[in-house]
A and B are shown apart, each in its own frame.
Chain A
């Protein structure tokens, strides 16, 4: 049979469930939640993201996107200036003017997000009221919602959480008598969505929907008979609001790696009462193929020591994948926030005694990384080249958000992302 037997139960008493965590305060070297726009605007194809912020915010998005210039980007910034800061009534009028101009220019927009930033939060510009006002004005053609991607409230991937959380109250209500349906939550590459959808169908899950949907006009309904499962670990607020609407969360590790994908699918199967043999029948082939595809990377990575700087909140699931499926040794696993509840199943799978850190003091953490001399450091774009110049091999983490990495068929690609920097380092003679 497949390697399933090797997987310990998630309720085993080993793991890091209660491990102490190093909590740090100091300079955080992490993007703010605005960054999520870079992938969300590609995901929801008829949505537009209007940041209400400063020149800094506009510059962040264009720089974080690697300055990919899209012919018609579906995001923009309303840059506030002195006049907007002078009086709030004024700022609201200005915002209405900007939005009106935008919607005239882009009649294809169905859903407009007003995205709050640090400056808009600090001057207490109420974007939810503005959204309600503008929604009324442009109904039914355009719906206007708001969320905050500000750096004083969100780090990096929390922007996606805030965006999806803003969608939850607007999801249509599922009738009480509707049959059970599954909602997969978290932005995934389309290829991943399709693969997972096929596997779930093979398991016999009747209705499978995704949040966010590909089109704003296709919002999935939600209700008491909705069971949802997270595909991304950073969606705490979205999960909370879905539960408020009666949906029940299926707890599971995240679908990274062969094991992660099987456990994720199995959690769904268990919730649907599907018997173990059927589940194995569906997962065995993919899992086996994924394990085989990872052989090369495993040879390269086994025994290598890895150090995570906090970035995307994917760190803990990735660390679990790298240690259990590829045999890497975890030196330190940093994460911007540790949601113990959502990550309970992941933490249980980590080797006992894994050094976890939450928050950041970047200079102290760099000192620890230098002292530990890991084989590979996972970090953001600001740190990668300076560390490489010091002789430390790095994997820049933003790629993990822009690459399809979930599911069986992507497991080897994910492993390759970590193997490639080491292969390169070994090849170069300069």
Chain B
């Protein structure tokens, strides 16, 4: 039993829904109680889809449990076929139905429906949404491409001369973070390279399209969290290699172009010679100097987190001070990436732990999911969203891919936007007492909306304010054993002049410095002694 406030991933059947909803001509019959129909709103409200997800829920009730829930399932499956006439169906259980063990796959078989029915076994009490999306896609790929597999051991025939190379574009789902735009961007890039797309799936594909997957020369796995399992199977059965590079950021996209070109037998040089992205120049332009060494904490699914770390570090000159993921399945990759930046990897889906870790790292920017947006808001730190789970505002009306060269532009804009602009930040540091530059001031281009909160300037033990009237109490010169030092009012005031995002750290460092040296009252001198000490 795990105490959970907020979850990064939904239940397994939501993973299956993301596949079903992405595809055309596929219908999902889900054995589930009525409350589970909430999942529809993920697609209709959060993603703003204009159609109901192609899902029929049996919505059994307590009074059915003694009776015949299996019959209820059969009726629902038969009705769903009659009404929607899909090319194929998937059937399965939600967490509650798993406990009553009705075997939707077996029941559906007895109906003799005239279309293929793929049963899903998605253990609800062991697994989560992303695993289940991958498993569902894999089962569908197997079911539809499998019958077209060559005999085992057949070598892949070489592509005929003069025929353009082709690939499958795999992994985009419904409710995916910018999947729709990424598919468009990468399709465009592949087109410029001269590579055809055989099938893009699951997003936009029909079951009959999956049957044609084997015809491609290789696979582009946009989202390994979803398509990794299927691509590995296609590799084994059809001898199709997969492109490993993730086309996020300039470096990632160039690596991707190089890898695709090698598989397709194409010269990448013309594309690489003239990158259609402003990120490299924007990042080198002088205004971006202030981005140097900005402390950034990154958390998300493994794919986006690892890619974001690279972009942050190599392309924006940030300092990565934290890197983590909730995708335990990809923990190894994230650990390896964390080594590059010499940070402790955070592998956790415990919201409270993520919150604590972020707070302790004192970042100046957080790149995360919608959960981290709330954490950052609480800490008064700017934030940009880089990964699912996301909310309705992360499905923008405009074209905003994360991948490819246009994606790099989007990353530059969305990560830099929440920050102070260069000169503005300098002025803020120099003239802290200006009424417009108080701590709650947001970057001027963001209006007044950004909330900034932080620990109070005054520690509880030494409230500042009008000096107490009356005989001054002689300040003790040695700290009581184990007791924390108190702040002299001028030192407290000086501390207030330090930018808010490093002030917490400055306070702690100074107090530690004072404690170690037995200084009872922190003066302005102590503050600068500590600063010098820690600067070494």
CA distance A187 to B96 in the complex (A): 29
Given A32-B35, A389-B50, A58 contacting B7 (CB threshold 8 A): yes
Choose the segment among B41-49, B137-145, B154-162, B469-477 that binds chain A (4+ C-beta atoms closer than 8 Å). Answer: B41-49
**B5, B39, B49, B56: which contacts A385 (Cβ < 8 A)?**
B49
1/0 per residue, CB under 8 A from A, across B89-113: the answer is 0000011100110000000000000
Complex-state Cα separation, A85 to B124, whole angstroms: 12
Q: Do A29 and B40 touch (CB < 8 A)?
A: yes
Among A5-33, those with CB < 8 Å from B are 26-33
Asked if A81 meets B125 with Cβ closer than 8 Å, knowing A27-B59, A60-B35, A76-B5, the reply is yes
B65, A122: Cβ atoms under 8 Å? Answer: yes
Provide the bound-state CA to CA distance between A91 and B2, in Å: 11
Q: Does A80 interact with chain B (Cβ within 8 Å)?
A: yes
Complex CA gap A94/B76 in Å reads: 36
Query: Cα distance A320–B446 when bound, in Å?
Result: 46
Can you name the residue of chain A whose Cβ is closest to the Cβ of B49? A385
Interface: A153 (CB within 8 A): yes
The reply on A34 being an interface residue by CB < 8 A is yes
Sample of 16 further A-B pairs with CB below 8 A, known A79-B2, A81-B2, A153-B62 = A29-B37, A30-B37, A31-B34, A54-B95, A55-B124, A56-B35, A58-B7, A59-B10, A62-B6, A76-B5, A95-B1, A119-B95, A151-B35, A152-B61, A382-B52, A386-B49
Instruction: List the B side residues contacting A63 at CB < 8 Å.
Output: 38-39, 41-42, 46
Q: Would A28 and B7 be within 8 Å (CB), given that A67-B391, A81-B2, A85-B99 are in contact?
A: no
What per-residue 1/0 map shows which CB atoms of B116-158 lie under 8 Å from chain A?
0000000111101000000000000000000000000000000
Q: Which of B17-38 contact A (CB under 8 A)?
A: 33-38
Q: What's the minimum C-beta distance from B99 to chain A, rounded to whole angstroms?
A: 5
Q: Does residue A77 face the partner (Cβ distance < 8 Å to B)?
A: yes
**A177 within 8 A of partner (CB):** no
Q: Tell me the B497-517 residues at the A interface (CB within 8 Å).
A: none
Pairwise interchain contact B10-A84, C-beta atoms closer than 8 A: no
Knowing A55-B11, A151-B36 are in contact, say whether A84-B1 is a contact too (CB < 8 A): yes
Cα–Cα distance between A81 and B124 once the two chains are bound (Å): 8
A169 interface residue per 8 A CB criterion: no
Complex Cα distance A386/B9, Å?
Answer: 25
Kindly provide the distance from the CB of B36 to the nearest chain A CB, expressed in whole angstroms: 6
Is A331 interfacial (CB-CB < 8 Å)? no
Q: A152–B33 contact, CB under 8 A? A: yes
Query: Is B460 an interface residue, CB under 8 A from the partner?
Result: no
**Chain A nearest Cβ from B176, distance in angstroms:** 16
**How many whole Å from B53's CB to the nearest CB in chain A?**
8
The reply to whether A381 and B41 form a contact with Cβ atoms under 8 Å apart is: yes
Range for the number of chain B residues in contact with chain A: 35 or more
State which of A67, A98, A363 has its C-beta within 8 Å of the C-beta of B3. A98
- Contact residues on A (Cβ < 8 Å of other chain), bracket: 35 or more
| Given contacts A54-B11, A382-B41, A386-B52, A94 and B378 within 8 Å (CB-CB) | no
On whether A85 and B44 interact (CB within 8 A), knowing A118-B96, A151-B35, A386-B50, the answer reads no
- Check: A193 CB closer than 8 A to any chain B CB: no
Smallest CB–CB gap between A51 and chain B, Å? 9
User: Which of B38, B48, B62, B378 has a CB less than 8 Å from the CB of A31?
Assistant: B38
A384's partner among B2, B34, B44 (CB-CB below 8 A) is: B44
Chain B 67-90, CB-CB to A under 8 Å as 1, else 0, gives: 000000000100100010000000
Q: Please determine whether A123 and B11 come into contact, CB atoms closer than 8 angstroms.
A: no
Cβ-defined partner of B58 (8 Å) among A27, A80, A119, A380: A27
What are the residues of chain B within 8 A of A204 when measuring CB–CB?
none
Question: Contacts A67-B370, A79-B4 given: A385-B62 contact, CB under 8 Å?
Answer: no
Contact between A80 and B1 (Cβ–Cβ < 8 Å)?
A: yes
For residue A121, CB closer than 8 A to chain B, the reply is yes
For B1, B41, B50, B56, which residue has the most chain A Cβ atoms within 10 angstroms? B1
B60 contacts the other chain (CB 8 A) = yes
> Do B34 and A59 have beta carbons less than 8 Å apart?
no
Cβ-defined partner of A54 (8 Å) among B62, B96, B391: B96
Q: Counting CB contacts under 8 A, is A102 at the interface?
A: yes
With a CB–CB cut-off of 8 A, which chain A residues contact B192? none
Taken together as a complex, chains A and B put the C-alpha atoms of A60 and B40 apart, in Å, by 11
Q: Is B51 an interface residue (CB 8 A)?
A: yes
A64: Cβ under 8 A from any B Cβ:
yes
The distance from the CB of B77 to the nearest CB of chain A, in whole angstroms, is: 12
Q: Determine the chain B residues whose CB is within 8 A of the CB of A32 once the complex forms.
A: 33-36, 38
A56 contacts which chain B residues (CB < 8 A)?
A: 10-11, 13, 35-36, 94-96, 124
B57 at the interface (CB under 8 A from A): yes
With a cutoff of 8 Å between Cβ atoms, the chain A residues found around residue B4 in the complex are 55, 58, 76-79
A426 located at the interface, meaning its Cβ lies under 8 Å from any Cβ of chain B in the complex: no
In whole angstroms, how far apart are the Cα atoms of A151 and B1 in the complex?
A: 20
Query: Among the listed A31, A52, A80, A97, which residue makes an inter-chain contact with B125, where contact means beta carbons less than 8 Å apart?
Result: A80
Task: Return chain A residues, CB-CB under 8 Å to B41.
Answer: 63-64, 380-382
Q: Does B203 make an interface contact (CB < 8 A)?
A: no
A82 vs B59: C-alpha distance in the bound complex, in angstroms?
23
Decide yes or no whether A427 CB sits under 8 A from chain B: no
B14 at interface, CB cutoff 8 A: yes
Q: Bits for A155-191, please: 1 = Cβ < 8 Å to B, else 0.
A: 1000000000000000000000000000000000000
Can you name the residue of chain B whose Cβ is closest to the Cβ of A56?
B11
Assembled-state Cα–Cα distance A326/B7 (Å): 43
Q: Which of A21-50 contact B (CB under 8 A)?
A: 26-35
Residue interface bits B339-370, CB-to-A below 8 A is 1, else 0:
00000000000000000000000000000001
**Does B3 contact A101, Cβ atoms closer than 8 Å?**
yes
Give the CA-CA distance A77 to B4 in the complex, in Å. Answer: 5
B220 to chain A, nearest CB (A): 30
Interface contact A385-B35, CB-CB below 8 Å: no
Instruction: Answer yes or no: B371 CB below 8 A from chain A CBs.
Output: yes
Contact of B99 among A60, A79, A123 (CB under 8 A): A123
Residue B332 at the chain A interface, CB threshold 8 Å: no
Of chain A, the residue at the smallest CB distance from B47 is: A385
For residue A150, CB closer than 8 A to chain B, the reply is: yes
Listed by A's residue number, 8 A-B pairs whose Cβ atoms lie within 8 Å are A55-B10, A55-B128, A58-B4, A67-B391, A78-B1, A102-B3, A121-B62, A386-B49
Q: Which 8 A-B pairs have the closest CB atoms?
A: A32-B35, A151-B35, A382-B40, A389-B50, A151-B33, A94-B1, A118-B96, A381-B41
**Any A CB within 8 A of the CB of B188:** no
What's the minimum C-beta distance from A113 to chain B, rounded to whole angstroms? 15
Task: Please provide the chain A residues from 382 to 400 with a CB less than 8 Å away from any CB of chain B in the complex.
Answer: 382-386, 388-389
Which residues of chain A have C-beta atoms less than 8 A from B164's C-beta?
none
Contact of A85 with B125 at beta-carbon distance under 8 Å, contacts A151-B33, A382-B41 already known: yes
